[in-house]
Amino acid sequence: MPRYMLDTNTVSHIIKGQPAAVRENLQRIPMDQVCISAITEAELLLGLAQKPAATRLAEVVAQFLLHVEILPWDSIAAKSYAHFASATFAQGKPLSALDILIASHAIAAAATLVTSDRSFYRLKLRPPLIDWTMR
């Protein structure tokens, strides 16, 4: 059974409800095949902490987090990070620190990373990728 790890930009699209293609793709996948990294959870919570008056957004994010599996960062993910980050740096195409952590986590979880971040696509070594913003 395939597993899909949603990158933070994909979760943001889901929460905003745009583009519609992201919501449509999510509806086609059983929720037990969808997950996020604890790193994505941290990014979402940081965004909320920076907008304390955004109570509606906080509720939408809380509801989303209740319905998606959040994978904890563990030793397997750490080992994946060491290998993936090293290869990325060797290619001279480093990603942001959090993107490297999320991609490494997807590799460790044997998950397809769902992202619209084009920087992932220029790497030679990467997790399987899919962009749900495309129809």
Domains and CATH numbers, the chain: 4-130 (3.40.50.1010)
3-state secondary structure of 114: strand
Q: At CB < 8 A and 24+ separation, what contacts does 91-98 make? A: 91/123, 91/124, 91/125, 93/119, 93/122, 93/123, 95/119, 95/120, 95/123, 98/8, 98/39, 98/43
Q: Is 106 exposed, middle or buried (0-12, 13-18, 19+ CB in 10 A)?
A: buried
Q: What is the side-by-side strand order in the sheet with 34-37?
A: 69-71, 34-37, 4-6, 112-114, 129-130
- Can you give the pTM of this predicted structure? 0.93
Sign of CA dihedral 76, 78, 79, 81: positive
Task: Output the tens digit of pLDDT for each of the chain's 135 residues.
Answer: 889 999 999 999 999 989 999 999 999 999 999 999 999 999 999 999 999 999 999 999 999 999 999 999 999 999 999 999 998 898 887 789 999 999 999 999 999 999 999 888 887 767 899 999 986
